[in-house]
Amino acid sequence: MINQRERDIAGFAFFSFAALVSMEAAWEHPSILTWLYAFHNLLLAWFYARRTPAAQYDRTGLWLGLIAALLPTIPYASNPPWYLLVPGLAGYGLCLWALVTLGPRFGIAPADRGLTARGPYQFLRHPMYLGELVFRLILVFASINILLASILALLLAGIQIWRILHEEALISGYGCYRNLVRWRLLPGIW
């Protein structure tokens, strides 16, 4: 069984590799969204290297999180139209805000690293997942292969819902947080 430090090194290596792959994709299909995706993977590697140890984590969730991180590495259109760029940037902005708010609590696997109710977490319980889903959905619409991208987006949505449900069951004190923040992912819906 590997220890926390080995998991952190493996996660850092994984996101560093994902950053290189996404940089190559951005180089071949340059757009602000593809470069933001590459930058995002670099940020994830950096945050992964500085995270707080988990009291407990879900191994299956770790694998699903890693799969989710690789899903959108598909061919993108080089220049998405402005009407895709605006919601894509908004989704990425929410994701970045959530990531910076989490700071050392960030992790891929559902894990108990403590709760935060600051930043976007005072409005939604899983704002990073919402930001990622919006950002990646825009990448689907900007994709060269819309059918493959749509299938991958549906798979990503399923994985994120599974991760949400496991996180909520795993983190201590989540019942109190649920009372403070009503909506998981979509205000007024779920």
Q: What is the pLDDT of residue 122?
A: 92
The region, left, alpha or beta by phi > 0 then psi within -120 to 50, assigned to residue 75 is beta
Sorting pLDDT into bands at 50, 70 and 90, what band is 72? low
pLDDT band at 97 (very low <50, low <70, confident <90, very high): very high
Q: How far apart are CA 39 and CA 45, in angstroms?
A: 10
User: Is 114 a residue whose pLDDT tops 60?
Assistant: yes
Q: What is the mean pLDDT of residues 129-157?
A: 82
The pLDDT of residue 75 is above 60: no
pLDDT grade for 77, boundaries at 50, 70 and 90: low
pLDDT at 144: 73
Domain edges within the chain: 4-180
Q: What angle do CA 180, 134, 159 make, to 5 degrees?
A: 75
Q: Is 58 left (phi over 0), alpha (psi -120 to 50) or beta?
A: beta
CATH number for 4-180 (one of 1.10.3210, 1.10.10, 1.20.120, 1.20.1260): it is 1.20.120
What is the pLDDT at residue 25? 80
Among 85, 81, 71, which residue's Cα sits nearest to residue 35?
Answer: 85
